[in-house]
Amino acid sequence: MATPVAAQVTAVRSPSQTGDIIARLVTLVFAGCILLLAGLVVLELWQGSAPARSHLGWNFLVSSDWNPVTDQYGALPFLYGTVVTAFVALLISVPLGLGAAIFLSELAPAGISSGLTFLVELLAAVPSVIYGLMALFTIVPLMREYVGPFLNATLGFLPFFQGRSYGVGYLPAALVLSIMTFPFIISVSREALLAVPREQREASLALGATQWETTWKVVVPYAKLGILGSVFLGLARALGETMAVTMVIGNAADIHVSLLAPGATIAAVIANEFTEASGKIYSAALIELGLVLFCLTIVINGFARLMIVATTRKGSKRS
């Protein structure tokens, strides 16, 4: 950490002190730009959604009736779709991601671990429209032809897997999101696990615990805040993800219990309808959806960062 060099130097008077002041001011202005940008984001979302907020009030959040023709806007189907797809995605990606993170931090030799981590992090660099393209031409036909009927036949007694599969729907969207979230879960959890002091492992092994028992009962609990932080980070990404979801969710403003049915998320409906939104209230309603999404991700990201900061500090302090 850069301890304030400034403090030690201010006493020294140099001829080019004006240069320092200018440099400080210039960089300060650009740092201020970031605050300005954030302010603009909030301001534009707030002002842009004003007509919808005054016209619809809190009803916006609890009504499930989305009908631009009659100027009825209820966000519930999109809130539902956003939460359900993100939740199912994490159900898949958390166990997978945590498993891989454990392997990479506890078992794999350092060289292999960093190589594999690089590959996993490349997954995070793949543009989301590419995930959408892949999913549209692989997962969607597979869902329609095989997975949907199979789920109907085997787990059809559960309400989640009833009804015809059209290929597009909540489940394929959740599958894509799970692939998109696990790079975050793996790389952040791995770092949290690596920050666990060696003595913790040695003490547990010395008491006769197997390696798995050590990992599961000592190392993972020690790193749990960081792991939780990685899950929240993945959740924030899943909630805000647009393109891949838009391409496979089916874009229907309905609420279905069945995961095989088509639905929509907040990001997907904005992507789909924004350019066509004629009428003040229609586009304001879409901007208000953006505002809701903004608030959701800000809160979840905030939590994630606090948790990650808490564990990495704890680890480095004791090691």
Partner 1 sequence: MKPRLVWRKTVNAVMLSLTAVCTVITVAALFVILGYLLYNGSKSLDWNFFVKLPLSPGELGGGMANAIVGSVQIVGLAALIGLPVGFLAGVYLSEFEDKAFASVVRYVADLLNGVPSIVVGIVAWALVVVPMRQFTALAGAIALAVMLIPIVTRQTEQFLREVPNSLREGALALGASKWRMIATVAVPAGSKGIVTGMILGVARIAGESAPLLFTSLGNQFWGGLTQPTAALPVMIYQRAMSPYDDWHRQAWAAGLVLIALVLIANVAARLVLARGVSVPRG
**If binding is defined by CB under 8 A, does position 11 make contact with partner 1?**
no
End-to-end Cα spacing for the chain: 17
| 285 near partner 1 (CB under 8 A) | no
> Closest Cα partner for 85 from 196, 185, 179?
179
The verdict on 3 binding partner 1 (CB under 8 A) reads: yes
Considering only residues 255 through 284, tell me which ones interact with partner 1, judged by CB under 8 A: 267, 270-271, 274-275
Question: What backbone phi and psi angles, to 5 degrees, belong to 67?
Answer: -140, 95
- Does residue 110 belong to the site contacting partner 1 (CB under 8 A)? no
Among 53, 55, 224, 305, binds partner 1 (CB under 8 A): 305
Give the integer Cα–Cα distance in Å for 5 and 144: 63
The H or E element containing residue 301 is: helix 280-318
Residue (160 or 184) nearer to partner 1, CB: 184
**Least distance in Å: CB of 153 to partner 1?**
25
State the sign of the Cα–Cα–Cα–Cα dihedral 102, 121, 272, 164: negative
User: Do 265 and 48 meet the contact criterion of CB atoms below 8 Å apart?
Assistant: no
Site string for partner 1, 187-226 (x = CB under 8 A): -----------------------xxxx--x----------
Cα gap 122→74, rounded to integer Å? 38
Residue 30: CB atoms within 10 A of its CB come to 8
Closest approach, Cβ 152 to partner 1, in A, equals: 25
* Residue (112 or 155) nearer to partner 1, CB: 112
* Total site size for partner 1, rule CB under 8 A: 98
- Among 52, 86, 104, 143, which residue interacts with partner 1 (rule: CB under 8 A)? 104
Beta bridge partners of 67: 72
- Closest contact distance (angstroms) between CB of 38 and partner 1 is 5
For position 227 contacting partner 1 by CB under 8 A, the verdict is no
Count H helices and E strands in the chain, helices first. 17, 0
Among 89, 102, 171, 219, binds partner 1 (CB under 8 A): 102
Site for partner 1 in 41-100 (CB under 8 A): 41, 44-45, 47-48, 95-100
Part of the chain binding partner 1 (CB under 8 A), chosen from 148-156, 196-204, 222-230, 294-302 = 294-302
CA distance 194 to 184: 15
**Quick one: which of 167, 193, 241, 259 contacts partner 1 (CB under 8 A)?**
241
Between 219 and 258, whose beta carbon lies closer to partner 1?
A: 219
Minimum distance, C-beta of residue 149 to partner 1, in the bound complex (Å): 23
240 binding partner 1? (CB under 8 A): yes
Residue 302 in the binding site for partner 1 (CB under 8 A): yes
Phi, psi (rounded to 5 degrees) for 280: -60, -45
Q: Of all helices (H) and strands (E), which one includes residue 33? A: helix 17-48
- Considering only 22, 158, 203, 206, the residue that binds partner 1 (CB under 8 A) is 22
Q: Quick one: three-class SS letters along 54-103?
A: HHHCCHHHHCCCCEHHHCECCCHHHHHHHHHHHHHHHHHHHHHHHHHHHH
Please say whether the beta carbons of 153 and 146 come within 8 A: no
User: Is the CB of 80 or the CB of 258 nearer to partner 1?
Assistant: 80
